[in-house]
Structure 1
Amino acid sequence: MTDYIRDLAVKLWDYHHTNHQLEKADAILVLCSHDTRVAERGAELFLEGWAPLLIFSGGLGVITRFIWTEPEADLFARIARDMGVPADRILIENRSANTGENVSFTRQLLAERNLAPETFIVVQKPYMERRSFATFRQVWPEKQLIVTSPQDSFDTYLSHYSNPELTPDDIVSIMVGDLQRIKIYPDKGFQIPQEIPADVWAAYEALVNAGYNQHLAS
């Protein structure tokens, strides 16, 4: 990756972060994916006492259906149990295939269990924070949320924590696709609108023109 591409990617990386400050909540909701570091972050927050309930949501998505056979939530929950989270403090939703389903299927699961948390800490990949926030607020607007992720710099994330099945260029392409969705999904009713600064959109367009277009929505 050239310095030019890295600088463009970091601009998207910074924008995708919500920079929320942690506060105690009723539940931690981990939105699962190909990145098991997200499971570790969710478990760490539970073990630190930020919330009394840990929920994992994720079946097999666009990427994981090609690299795993086990639902994301089942794998992530096992990681949390191995880290010391009691099994009876974990809930698993393992049917969802996208972020909107993560939220709506979790809502259904909690209703079935007669649980009604009002505040959530949502845990996601670093470059999915903003999109997760916008999606949650669209699907479940009456609840309050804080979004967080593994606390890594862009370079650290690429060198240590992205799935070995994915290259750094793959991660940049995914970030580009997520920014496109932040722009177009409000009109589809999938997310609340988020302002995109002109310089961030210019970086997006430059990355698309450089070939980082594999994860754009059709």
Structure 2
Amino acid sequence: MASAPVSFDELPESVRAAVEARTGHVIRVEAISAGLNSALSARIHTATGSVFLKGLRSDHRRVWTQQREAGINSYVQALGPRLLWHLDTEGWNILGFAPIDGHHADYSPGSPDLPKVAQALRELADIPCPDIPLRRAEQRLAAYVDDPAVLAYFAGDSLLHTDLNNRNLLITDRAHLVDWGWATRGAAWLDAGYWVIWLVAGGHTPAEAEAWAARIPAWGAAHPQAVDAFAAANTRVWDEIAGAEPDAWTSRMLFAARRWRDYRLGVASVISEDNWRDARLIWDYQRMRHEPRPCDVAIALGSRDLGVASEAARLFHAGLFPALVFTGGNSPGTAARFPRGEAVHFRERALELGVPDEAILLEPAASNTGQNITFSREVINAAGIRPRSVLLISMPPMERRAFATCRAQWPEVEVVCASAAVGFEDYVRSMGEARPLIGMMLGDFQRVIEYPKRGFAIEQAVPGEVQEAYERLARAGFAGRRLVT
């Protein structure tokens, strides 16, 4: 969990005075976005220069990371910022560093920062691990393996950084490693392994990420089974960090860890680059790309994506409709996630986001898209609403199916579609698992093709390249919820 941010001006007066006793009078404070390991993160400017401050309350459960950074700093100044002073006073533990004027590393494919990061990791491997208290890698990962014997792969006497978030690399003419609170003693190749996960999160394929890791000599000494075990353990680490309702950042990291694990283990869920390209074609086709505009009523279709409720709340607050129906009972894919039913959980989310209860109508029985429309229509009519236009809010890849269904089941209303403004890769990451999502997309696409023949939906034109992408994915085993025809 991130620490609640605190500005310099919010520190007790006595703490600010203790800082100024070391820096001189502060004439300007530059707020800096705090990471997970600090509450105070700021650059203060004085008449003689500036200092970067990083701090936690002295009783914070992770204040030990402050002590760790202070203890390790003199050994890693060739790679990171120089610690100027460390104070612990009046309930605050604060580190003062010489600032580094650089940008956060860009981990995307083709970035000019990548060779500099690789060079920094090579230089780190040449620094002897100091004889100070440090946790051992095998201890940190012990809870995330099934076979304790694999922990021997992670043991060693090398100094490791272990937190290779791109925000912990500042780039000038070289890469500087900052935020040493998780410094660890372990096998020399592990930092390259941690970097792989961040590179995959940055857009690399697992093979491309490992090619960068191979630029670190220690990586070549790792036994393949050791790397397999490390990838599997870190998937569990990120699964624990993500929890039941991960935010976008942790979803991205969990997705990257899973993708690397699957690549290492060669499991059936590995998705080729050709599969990704075909899935993007299906994704692009399924989105209607309507411009959201005011409608008489909105219908938010239940699914496994609670983000639909969040988007509905955002559009309500934007003034696009006065009344909102949440529709959906349960399906095999949502019963565990939403045990009280999709509509009920979506309503609760909307209430949390400030949608007034009197603006919400509930339809808790529908089990398919056709019922979402027809049952919602009944609820809307029972409320005395006679709409001429309806805003359908759904998962992004469900837009076209929802549109075609509503146009067939409720032809007298104008239909506008809306969903979260998110790209395909980011959405896959937010949902956690790619293969089930792609399978669901194929199921919806098949229904766009087949349901007009049954009178359930209006017909939609399908470009040939999209149809071919669907057929290739089907042959590749992305069965999902496909119809038997």
**TM-score between both structures, scaled by the size of structure 2:** 0.43
The residue that corresponds to 1:48 in the other structure is: 318
**Pairing 1:215–2:481 present:** yes
Give the C-alpha shift of residue 68 in structure 1.
3.2
CA contact (8 A) 2:438 2:480 kept: no
Structure 2: gaps (5+ residues): 1-270
Task: Assess, with a 3 A threshold, how the Cα gap between structure 1 residues 211 and 35 changes in structure 2: closer, same or farther.
Answer: same
Deviations 1:24-81 (A, max 9, x none): 1111110111100011000100011111111111111242135432110010000000
CA contact (8 A) 2:392 2:417 kept: yes
Select 1:143's aligned residue among 382, 407, 413: 413
The residue that corresponds to 1:93 in the other structure is: 363
The residue that corresponds to 1:202 in the other structure is: 468
Deviations 1:91-149 (A, max 9, x none): 11001000000110011112222221211111001100000000000000001110011
The residue that corresponds to 1:112 in the other structure is: 382
Give the Cα separation in 1 of the matches to 2:283 and 2:480: 17
Select 2:434's aligned residue among 168, 171, 178: 168
Please tell me the residue identity of whatever aligns with 1:44. Answer: R
The residue that corresponds to 1:6 in the other structure is: 276
The residue that corresponds to 2:113 in the other structure is: none
Select 1:72's aligned residue among 336, 339, 342: 342
Give the Cα separation in 1 of the matches to 2:316 and 2:336: 30
CA contact (8 A) 1:58 1:97 kept: yes
Deviations 1:147-200 (A, max 9, x none): 01111100000112x2x5xx2111001111111111111111110000111110
Give the Cα separation in 1 of the matches to 2:293 and 2:408: 21
Please tell me the residue identity of whatever aligns with 1:199. Answer: E
Moved over 4 A (4+): none
The residue that corresponds to 2:298 in the other structure is: 28
Give RMSD over aligned pairs.
1.1
Structure 1: gaps (5+ residues): none
Q: Name the SS for the 1:64 alignment partner.
A: coil
- Point out the more displaced range, 56-65 or 205-214: 56-65
Question: Where is the strand percentage greater, Structure 1 or Structure 2?
Answer: 2
Give the Cα separation in 1 of the matches to 2:376 and 2:338: 22
The residue that corresponds to 2:289 in the other structure is: 19
- Point out the more displaced range, 138-147 or 103-112: 103-112
**Pairing 1:61–2:331 present:** yes
Please tell me the residue identity of whatever aligns with 1:178. Answer: D
The residue that corresponds to 1:155 in the other structure is: 425
Q: Name the SS for the 2:335 alignment partner.
A: helix
Question: Where is the helix percentage greater, Structure 1 or Structure 2?
Answer: 1
Q: Which has the higher contact order (CA 8 A, sep 6+)?
A: 1
Please tell me the residue identity of whatever aligns with 2:367. Answer: A
Give the Cα separation in 1 of the matches to 2:298 and 2:410: 15
CA contact (8 A) 2:338 2:345 kept: no
Q: Name the SS for the 1:85 alignment partner.
A: coil
Q: Identity, % of aligned pairs?
A: 34
CA contact (8 A) 1:34 1:64 kept: yes
Please tell me the residue identity of whatever aligns with 1:74. Answer: V
